[in-house]
Structure 1
Amino acid sequence: MTSTFDAALTEAVDLLRILPRRRDDVPEARRAVAKWRETRPATRAQLVADVRPGSPVVDYDLVLAHPDGGSVALTAPADDGVPWTVDHSTHWASGRVVTVDDFALLIQNALLTLRTRAERDTTIQDELIDYCILSDMASREPPPTQQELQQASDAYRIRNGLRSRADMMRWLAGVGLNETAYTSHIFGLALKQRVRARIEQETARDYLERNPAEFDQLWALWAEGSEDRLAELAGAPDPATALTQALASRDGITVTTADGPALDLPEPLRAAPEGTVVGPVPHGKAHLLGVVRERRPADPADPGTLAAAGRAGFAEYMARRRAKANVTWHWL
């Protein structure tokens, strides 16, 4: 039995050394291992792939069942000679997400917390899936131009209030990144922004033609608060005037006025005709009472309208991709 296993080990090492190391070739590597496993079924061989962040290079482990029980893991690193399990998993902080006042948050607890929050807000899950979909699409793009990199970096710094190099260095230290990691992040961000811009441009007009009412320009006023208080306002002779007065008094409710595309307004108001009083209706954690004071048809030639339609088209496109994606959550 030992000599048979020794022979299998030798073959496994040789197999590991010839497996393709590119990210796109992982399926081919798995097929090669599956074919070899058919000749050595007792090994129950399993290939473990490590896709390096920001790199097209992949490392592998090959796990074999030992005839006397347990398993044996073989590693054949491609470049620096350091097994990826050592490089990524045996660091003293490898299982930690953050340490606060000497208290370490482990990855298992962080994932459980994320799962609990996601049960209340599925957008967290959607954002993670979207990130994976966009990252996969971006990986097939040509490298970003210097202009794209600069635009991505400028937008990112402005969005995070990083107006100077000193601000940038303090921010990097605060989030535990170095300049190399930031550059790698901006590289990927520039490609994802390119993909998103292309999809928005391709979908804008079609989405607008199918959903013109979403981009009508609405002047509306609405209040959010308790159902009883909003019912009082709705029962006034002129609810619009009552809401306007409430806007000044802030009488235990939140009052908002806006003039913009219907899609940007609360959902109960988006399809309401001009002059319509809507509510009180449940909205979020409270109730909503609103009045559409004016409604103007969408202008297909308006750049702002097309941009909004592109954003909506992109959201629709990503929703379709999420629905078709094969998603596996690796939560402990």
Structure 2
Amino acid sequence: MITESTASHRVADCLVRVDDVHLPIAEAVTMVRQLSHRDRAIHDEIVDHCLIRAEVRADVEPLTEDDLRAAAEEFRDGVPLRDRAETLAWVAEMGMSGGQFEGFITLIARRRRFRRRKEAELAPGYLAHHQDDFDQVRAMWVTSAHPVNGEILRGLGGLLGCPEAAVVVGTRLARDLPAPLRHAPRDTLVGPVAFERGYLTGLVLERRAAGADSETLAMAGRAAFGEWLTARRERASIEWHWTTS
């Protein structure tokens, strides 16, 4: 049973509550230090951390030395820290004991293991429904302020009169191409179509269908996990505890 004073103390020490997981301010500060160089919004990263923490709460399966080593490497790369001396200095700066730091790395290892297993679970179904997103596509496209006749892509000389045009030629996963090109068949001209603040015209040169090899399944698993986590975040009850002076 939580008394009023205990509940007040919990809220005072807590940055956010996600469902029934309360994230202490000290742990959130540690996360911000580790995540601040990434592109994603930090508040989303913090919520995702809480959601995965809830998933591993009942995990008592022993971790291997490889699990812990990989977790420690991920942590050091994320901060970043170059060696043992810098790691010890960081631990001291954060006010952690040796046991607290060990528990911190253990939590990272359990989160990594959960994610790896969830990705493997979700990958086959995701790939079955999004297989063409993982096709290898070689294409060329031009983005410009004004519409460009696609036929000149078959002989780029015509673009010399378009000084504002930017031309890209390369091979990418279909899902990483500009949206108008993602599902176009081989030797298909696309556009000109409105794109971002101008126009896009493209030509698909080659398209190789994706298979269910280990590399493609791994990519599908990562994409599926991202969607799963987004859906969990949208369903979660989230309460931030901000203080003002």
Which of 138, 151, 159 is the aligned partner of 1:219?
138
Instruction: Tell me which of 34, 53, 63 is aligned to 1:135.
Output: 53
How big is each residue's C-alpha offset from its partner over 1:236-278, in whole Å with a ceiling of 9 and x where there is no partner? 63225439978xxxx5565444423222333333222222324
Q: For structure 1, list consecutive stretches of 5 or more residues without a partner in the other structure.
A: 1-28, 34-43, 54-87, 98-109, 111-120
Match of 1:238 among 148, 152, 155: 152
Aligned to 1:148: 67
Q: Pairwise mapping of residues 167-206 of structure 1 onto structure 2 (< 5 A)?
A: 168=87, 172=90, 176-177=93-94, 180=98, 183-206=102-125
Question: In the superposition, relative to structure 1, how do residues 210 and 237 fare at CA in structure 2: closer, same or farther (>3 Å)?
Answer: closer
Task: Letter of the 1:237 partner, please give it.
Answer: E
| TM-score between the two structures when normalised by the length of structure 2 | 0.68
Tell me the secondary structure at the aligned position of residue 140 of structure 2. strand
Cα deviation for residue 158 of structure 1 reads 4.5
Equivalent position of 1:319 in the other structure: 230
Give 2:112's aligned amino acid. Q
Q: How many residues are paired up?
A: 218
The letter of the residue matching 1:306 is L
CA positional deviation for 1:313? 1.4
Matches within 5 A, 1:36-51: 47-48=7-8, 50=10
Amino acid at match of 1:305: T
Partner of 1:259: 171
Q: In the TM superposition, what is the alpha-carbon distance from 1:183 to its structure 2 partner?
A: 4.1
Task: Answer whether contact 2:145 2:199 (CA < 8 A) is retained.
Answer: yes
Q: Looking at both structures, which has the greater relative contact order when contacts are Cα pairs under 8 Å and sequence separation is at least 6?
A: 2
**Cα deviation digits, residues 124-165 of structure 1 (max 9, x gap):** 543332121012212222253322010122244356664444
Q: CA RMSD in A?
A: 4.1
Determine the structure 1 residue equivalent to 2:19: none
The one-letter code of the counterpart of 1:50 is: R
Query: Alpha carbons of 1:238 and 1:253: their partners in 2 closer, same or farther (altered >3 Å)?
Result: closer
Q: Residues 277, 240 of structure 1: CA spacing in aligned structure 2 closer, same or farther, 3 A cutoff?
A: farther
- Cα 1:295–1:188 change in 2 (3 A) is same
Q: Secondary structure at 1:134's aligned position in 2? A: helix
Residues 286 and 197 of structure 1, relative CA distance in 2, 3 Å threshold: farther
Q: 1:319 to 1:255 in 2, by over 3 A?
A: same
Separation (CA, whole Å) in 1 of partners of 2:69 and 2:184: 43
Which residue of 184, 193, 204 maps to 1:272?
184
In structure 2, the residue corresponding to 1:47 is in which secondary structure? helix
**2:56–2:111: 8 Å Cα contact kept in structure 1?**
yes
2:18 is aligned to none
**Aligned partners of 1:239 and 1:277 also within 8 Å:** no
Indicate which of 175, 199, 206 corresponds to 1:294. Answer: 206
Q: Report how far residue 279 of structure 1 moved.
A: 4.2
Distance (Å, rounded) in 1 between the aligned partners of 2:9 and 2:165: 55
* TM-score w.r.t. length of structure 1: 0.53
CA contact (8 A) 2:133 2:174 kept: yes
Once the two structures are superposed, the pairs formed by residues 84-123 of structure 1 within 5 Å of their partners are 123=41
CA distance 1:124–1:156, shift in 2 (3 Å): closer
Amino acid at match of 1:199: K
Q: Secondary structure at the match of 1:328?
A: strand
Distance in structure 2 (CA, Å) of the matches to 1:330 and 1:235 = 55
Compared CA separation, residues 197 and 48, structure 1 to 2 (3 A): same
Question: Does 1:281 find its partner at 2:241?
Answer: no
Determine the structure 2 residue equivalent to 1:70: none
The yes-or-no answer on 1:303 pairing with 2:220 is no
